Structures are given as structure tokens and as C-alpha cells.
Amino acid sequence: MTKDLEKYAADQGIKYFMVSYTDLFGAQRAKMVPAQAIADMQQDGAGFAGFATWLDVTPAHPDMLALPDPEAVIRLPWKPEVAWVPANCMMNDAPLEQAPRNVLLRQIEAAAEQGLSVKTGVEAEFFLLDPNGLEIADNLDTAEKPCYDQQAIMRRYDVIAEISDYMIELGWGPYQSDHEDANGQFEMNWGFDDALATADKHSFFKFMVKSVAEKHGLRATFMPKPIKGLTGNGCHAHISVWDKDGKKNLFTDGTHDLGMSDIGWHFIGGMMKHASALAAITNPTVNSYKRINAPRTTSGATWAPNTVTWTGNNRTHMIRVPGAGRFELRLPDGAANPYLMQAVIIAAGVSGISSKATPGKRLDIDMYQDGHTVKNAPRLPLNLLDALRYFDKDKVLKSALGEEFSAAFVKLKRREWDSFVSHFSRWERDNTLDI
């Protein structure tokens, strides 16, 4: 039943709503709306100038109206008089095709037309840095292998426990938090859900982590590779496909290898087939490729793939099948747009089901030690430009995601790449000044 946001505000003591949308680059944009004005916003939307954010529109375009989704409203646990509500972007009385949440909604609808619903969970990793974002905030966090460091996580107990408490309060079902593989890095896990709900929670989680960190005088970052030599921020996705009512896991088949059904293998086959192209979305920044193409880190492993391979319960591959009924995609990083990441997973996987794609040969080797022995597996893109080229050539994936979105994404991301390559770095001076 659709919530009346005005009544919700009265019942919950809400003074303000943050009507929020996520642009093509993953930046969250919002307007703060007084509760007494929310009824009009629920009806007509909050007005934005789309050109002022990372969307492919001009200053001459009409207002973009962000219609709040009342079913997804979240009261801020750290500021209870405020509620965050994700919005669907409209322009000229129609959905703005390139807006990321709209892209995901179309993928969910396309899957539903085939009797499928996709459920996902994400493993969001982040660093806690000093307020300037230059150094790890904890100067005692120096272990060579800091993963699961008991003392280090307790030194950040106030931050991690506060966020976990909030997730408990919100009913997300958080089940573990840990110090991750890099110094200053943490991961927090909560229960899986329908793809849209997971995307909304993922988006809110990033907002929440940054807000709580700032409250404690720290800076949180989900940047894929913020510290040279250390493990980067991944955002591993766990994926399963259910019937349209979400009651039966269609990936589960105890008679098949690893307990994965034919539908599951075809879905994975779609991921494998489109991997190099979907990297443009799961790894959408210049910095992303310093994570998936990194040399060995100080801890001994990057924990990131650089080759399109799959396996059983083995974390050195792009796709891991840890048990019956689900698989893990280890490619995405912390910069991935929460909505576009879910959308491209569904688009690639459902296309695999439709075409009965196969994932190819299972490899059970340690890719970090013996990956050089694999001769026919594609390498993942070496940089953002290569990923964009793969994406631009993938007609199936572009069509599934929508031509308007695809054109806008490639255009703006190519502009970002051009900005990067026109930048003169200290490395260039250090290595070529005396030539």
C-alpha cells in the first residue's frame, strides 16, 4: 500500500524530507523539503536543473522533476526529524530514460515479463581517513595483514557500532562487520533483498557512512583505490533469481554441479559474455582500474579479478559460486552507481538466460599464482577508455539498458576520460623532465 508522505511525516514526527536522486556518475543529489510541502512534491515532484548535475541535458532543457517513491522512504536514525526518500526523475511528463533509478526499474520490469525477480546483496567496503582524505585516520593501524584485526576494529567501535545499530533499527538485518584487508578499511554486511530495495539501501548506506564518519571527525571514502599499495574498495554483489513472486529460488538445483540450475548457469553465462562491457558500469572511474589491474598489495593479494573467469568457492576469480542458489560477482568496486550496477547485472544475466549462454570452462586454480597459465580467458579492460569502448560495441547490452541512457553514459564518461588524459601529473615531470 502506497504511503502518504504527509501522513507519514505527522505519524513519525518528520520535519524535513531529503528528496534524493542519483546521477550518472553516482553522485547523490537532493532537495530538503519541509513536511508541510511534501504532499505537493509527492504529486508533482521536486524541481531540479538536470544540467547542474551529471546528466546529459543542457541548461535549455525544462525542469527535471524528482518524484519521491514513498515505499522507499527511510527515516534518518541519526537525525530522526529528517527522512530520506529516493526519487524517480521525470521530464516533459515522461520518465527521464537516462536517470539511473529509471534504468534499474526498466530492467526489473523486463525480468518480471519473463517471470523472474532478481534478489541481490552487496558487500560495501570503505576506508576511514583523516578529514582531508589524505591519510588513514588510525595511526596504529599498520599491520602487514590487517584483515579482521580485532584491535583495529575496536578502535573504531564508535563509528562501526553506530552504523550497525542504525541498520538494526532500520530492519536491514546486518549480520557482520569487520576490518578489511587494507589498513583503515572496513566492510559491513546486511541481508539481501529485491534488486531495487538493495540499490536504495546501498545508496542510503553510502550517505549514512559518510554522515556518521563526519560526525566523528573522519572522512569515509568508497573510492576504488584510495591508498597506493593497499587493497582497494570492492563492492561484491551476490545474486540469485527467483520466480515472479519471490518465493522460489530458480538458481537452486541439487542435481546439478555446485547446486546451480540451468537458469543459473545461463545467467552466469550472460555475465561472462558481457563482462568486459559491463565493467564500464561496475568499475566506472579512472581510478577503478588501479584496483582490478593492481600489482600485489602489501597484504599479499588484491582480492580483485583482472580476467574473465569463474570458479566454485575460490575468491581469485571474477565469479565465485560459493554454494547452491547464488553466485558472487567480484568485479564491482566502491565507485559503482548503486542503481546502474544492479541494472547491468540484470541486463547481462537475463540476456544470458534468453540466449542460453554458457559460462565456459570452470577453473579451480589460484588466479593470483597460476593465472598466467590460462591462455584463452579474456583480460578485463586495462583502463576506463577500453571499458567504454567495449561497452559502446556491445549492442545487446546497450539495447537492454536503453539507447538514450547508453549514449548519455558513454558521452559523459568519455568527457571524463578526456579530462583525465589532459591533466599533467607529477609522474610525467619526474620521469620525462630530463629527457
pLDDT, tens digit, 9 for 90 and up, residues 283-311? 999 999 999 999 999 999 999 999 999 99
More confident residue, 376 or 384: 384
Quick: pLDDT tens for 13-58.
999 999 999 999 999 999 999 999 999 999 999 999 999 999 999 9
- Secondary structure of the chain in HEC code, one letter for each residue: CCCCHHHHHHHHCCCEEEEEEECCCCCEEEEEEEHHHHHHHHHHCEEECHHHCCCCCCCCCCCEEEEECHHHCEECCCCCCEEEEEEEEEECCEECCCCHHHHHHHHHHHHHHCCEEEEEEEEEEEEEECCCCCCECCCCCCCCCCCCCHHHHHHCHHHHHHHHHHHHHHCCCCCEEEECCCCCEEEEECCCEEHHHHHHHHHHHHHHHHHHHHHCCCEEECCCCCCCCCCCCEEEEEEEEEECCCCCECCECCCCHHHECHHHHHHHHHHHHCHHHHHHHHCCCHHHHHHHCCCCCCCCCCCCCCECCEECCCCCCCEEEEECCEEEECCCECCCCHHHHHHHHHHHHHHHHHHCCCCCCCCCCCHHHHHHHCCCCCECCCCHHHHHHHHHHCHHHHHHHCHHHHHHHHHHHHHHHHHHHCCCCHHHHHHHCCC
Kindly indicate whether the domain formed by 5-88 is annotated with CATH number 3.30.565.10.
no
In this prediction, residues 380-399 reach a mean pLDDT of 98
Residue 367 confidence (pLDDT) above 70: yes
What is the CATH code of the structural domain delimited by 106-426? 3.30.590.10
In this prediction, residues 411-428 reach a mean pLDDT of 95
- The angle at the Cα of 343, spanning 192 to 333, to the nearest 5 degrees, equals 70
Residue 1's pLDDT is: 54
Residue 312 confidence (pLDDT) above 80: yes
Residue 3's pLDDT is: 83
Quick: pLDDT tens for 313-365.
999 999 999 999 999 999 999 999 999 999 999 999 999 999 999 999 999 99
Domain coordinates in residue numbering, the chain? 5-88, 106-426
Quick: pLDDT tens for 62-99.
999 999 999 999 999 999 999 999 999 999 999 999 99
Mean pLDDT of the chain: 97
Residue 2 confidence (pLDDT) above 90: no
Residue 421 confidence (pLDDT) above 80: yes
In this prediction, residues 361-388 reach a mean pLDDT of 95
Quick: pLDDT tens for 184-221.
999 999 999 999 999 999 999 999 999 999 999 999 99
Residue 428 confidence (pLDDT) above 80: yes
In this prediction, residues 233-258 reach a mean pLDDT of 95
**Looking at the whole model, is its pTM more than 0.85?**
yes
